[in-house]
Structure 1
Amino acid sequence: MRILRKERVILDEARADLQQAWARTSHEMAKLRDNPACADQEFARNADAGDPGLRYALTFDVGDDIAAPFITLGIRPRVAVLREQGVNGQVEMAAAFDAAGFAPVDVHMSDILSGRVSLGDFTGLAACGGFSYGDVLGAGGGWAKSILFNPRARDEFAAFFGRADSFALGVCNGCQMMSQLHDLIPGAAAWPRFERNLSEQFEARFAQVEVLASPSIFFADMAGSTMPIVVSHGEGRVVFREAAHAAQAVATLRYVDHHGAPTEYYPLNPNGSAGGLTGFTTADGRFSILMPHPERVYRAAQLSWRPDGMAGAGPWLRMFRNARRTVG
């Protein structure tokens, strides 16, 4: 930064030096409040003049509405948009599935526990984000236990996951909950649990991720794409229950740096998960979980940064359109 007054230089400083001077007080406070190693990593990024910033590198055409041929049939498969006390992401989840040609239905856990609603009436299930039971039993723990220790609910979910024509998506708190239902979900035995972020703080950021090659119905034809996505969680760090599960789990998403390389560097990796992993699926791809929020950025207008010319559908809508194409 160079400032002149009356043809005389009155300030000539590197941007990185000025930014670090501006951020130093906050950095010192963060080292006392948060994980100091994470605070140091975030502060050091201010000096990285070679960081190209967020980017979109897509392997698919955002404008290609692959769900359109099925929507024109006038048939909208029903999706149970599942919520529990403390869940708050059901509205945007319903909107994303609706935009892709599904008929989302608001289903509260009390509907299932009482027998008023049966999952047998739905093709899909979406477990939404939020803070079920205030996370007092661990993120998603209370929600999962209300299923596992209630015979009616356990039977409902086991029957749903056991069908050949069903699919499910768990996002954020729904991801944490579904990861604890691994005994009920065929092919989910190696799914991890999600523990406290390495930063020791709740992380609400716009982070860069890469879509990995996987059988997930949600990520079909998206492998290799890198793009930003909303993250909003306090317990998103992947921890495998057994060492062997790290090689067995089928991953779908990982955090990458702004050059596209997988990262464990904070805050590019907001929770410290090894290898940057943040999404998983089953061997047949019908059941998927992820910590970031695609439903919050399925429209281009929802993206806090997007390249010029991106309007209408955002790239994350492709996930929901993929599911609609799979159902047929």
Structure 2
Amino acid sequence: MAQVKVLVLAGFGTNCERETAYACRAVGADRVDIVHQAELIHGDRRLDDFNFLCLPGGFLDGDNLGAAQAAAHRFRHARVKTTGEPLMEQLLAFIKKGGLILGICNGFQLMVKLGLLPGFDGLYTQRLVSLTYNDSGRFEDRWVWLKVNPQSPCIFTRGLERLYLPVRHGEGKFVTLDEKVLERLKEENLHTLQYADPQTGEPTQTYPLNPNGSMAAIAGLCDPTGRLFGLMPHPEAFNHRTNHPAWTRESLPEEGLGLSLFRNAVEYLRQRDV
């Protein structure tokens, strides 16, 4: 069985790297390294030593120029100091060889600003979607229900029907370049997660069930391979029953539901020589 080697990216404003690393270890990843972005740029560490890249939440570069915009610019234009290789080429090679990428909150913002998602036609540099300011005009910190699209190719959500996870963001509203992009996302079932009404289980535009006003209530998105996945809610923040806001009032499983996403990723990689 293949070894699962996880790189959790840190630095320049990320603040959820330890929880993300914990989640990966909790579901049995063989190696989990927290790596500062500067280590990649300097050439001290390389993406090709890993097969699972986690882009955790936080506030990259203080959200200057827009959430993750400055970080995306760094990735596109930085060169590895020891080799002169563009860092973006290293990232694209990681995707080509079959690696997994999970972007959570700020990490999701980074993925869309880079153009990694939605990845139409295997192109990972086209910026066709974005995440912008919440309709409420304020930072949203609450728990939300999520409907999982059963037709999605996403490997992270296999076997799941719905999730209950926390969000904490100021720029989480999902938007597309135009209606054609939105329709294609739906046709290819790349809209993996949607904010849902807990009573009906169906996607909703009603605030605060949909905390940001995302188009089509989209909370998570994958590429056509299902290996690249970004979501605004924080699965790493529900790793144990005591994370749940009603843990003292309800009988809950010991393991938090958020770990299911990480377990699916680890099990997928175990069966593949990546």
Q: TM-score range by the shorter chain?
A: 0.7 to 0.9
- Give, as a single letter, the amino acid of the residue that structure 2 aligns with 1:242: D
Q: What does residue 207 of structure 1 align with?
A: 144
Q: Give me the whole-angstrom Cα distance separating, in 1, the residues matched to 2:130 and 2:91.
A: 19
Deviation at 1:308, TM superposition (A): 3.3
Whole-Å separation in 2 of the counterparts to 1:191 and 1:278:
16
**Structure 1 stretches of 5 or more lacking a match?**
1-69
**Which aligned runs of 4 or more in structure 1 are off by greater than 2 angstroms?**
183-191, 305-309
Which of the two has higher C-alpha Rg? Answer: 1
Q: Provide the residue aligned with 2:72 in structure 1.
A: 144
**Contact 1:84–1:143 (CA<8 Å) still a contact in 2?**
no
Q: 2:268 aligned with 1:268, yes or no? A: no
Answer yes or no: is the 8 Å Cα contact 2:205–2:214 preserved in 1: yes
Aligned to 2:225: 284
What aligned pairs does 1:170-209 form with structure 2 within 5 A after superposition?
170-182=103-115, 186=122, 189=126, 192-209=129-146
Which residue of structure 1 lines up, in the alignment, with residue 48 of structure 2?
A: 120
Which residue number corresponds to residue 266 of structure 2? 324
Q: Is 2:75 the partner of 1:153?
A: no
3-state SS in 1 of match to 2:233: coil
Q: TM-score, normalization: structure 2?
A: 0.87
Q: Please report how far the alpha carbon of residue 191 of structure 1 lies from its aligned counterpart in structure 2 after TM superposition.
A: 5.5
Contact 1:187 1:282 in 2 (8 A): no
Matches within 5 A, 1:46-65: none
Query: For residues 298 and 216 of structure 1, what CA distance do their matches in structure 2 show?
Result: 20
Equivalent pairs, count: 252
- Contact 2:235/2:257 (8 A) holds in 1: no
Quote the offset at 1:176 in angstroms: 0.2
Identify if the C-alpha distance between structure 1 residues 272 and 196 changes in structure 2 by more than 3 Å, giving closer, same or farther: same
**3-state SS of paired residue (2:156):** helix
Looking at structure 2, the residues matched to 271 and 95 of structure 1 have their Cα atoms a distance apart, in angstroms, of 28
Q: Quick check: 1:226 aligned with 2:153?
A: no
Aligned to 1:256: 196
| Alpha-carbon offset, residue 284 of structure 1 | 1.1
Report the Cα distance in structure 2 between the residues aligned to 1:198 and 1:238, rounded to whole angstroms. 11
The gaps in structure 2 that reach 5 residues or longer are 80-85
Alpha-carbon distance in structure 2 between the residues aligned to 1:135 and 1:90: 17
- Asked if 1:107 is matched to 2:16, the reply is no
Change over 3 Å in CA distance of 1:298–1:279 after alignment to 2: same
Partner of 1:81, secondary structure, is strand
Deviation, structure 1 residue 227: 3.3
Return the offset for 1:211.
Answer: 1.2
* CA deviations over 1:94-144 (Å, ceiling 9, x no partner): 000001111210111101111111000001000010001100110011111
Cα offset, 1:290, TM superposition: 0.4
* 1:244 partner SS: helix
Letter in 2 for 1:282: D
> Helix, strand or coil: the match of 1:217?
coil
Distance in 2 between residues matched to 1:270 and 1:175, nearest whole Å: 16
CA drift of 1:180 comes to 1.7
User: Does residue 83 of the first structure (1) align with residue 21 of the second (2)?
Assistant: no
- Deviation track 1:45-102 (CA, whole Å, cap 9, x = no partner) reads xxxxxxxxxxxxxxxxxxxxxxxxx7xxxx7511110123111010100000001111
From 12, 18, 21, give the equivalent of 1:94: 21
What secondary structure is seen at the aligned counterpart in 1 of 2:179?
Answer: coil
Cα distance in 2, alignment partners of residues 243 and 163 from structure 1: 32
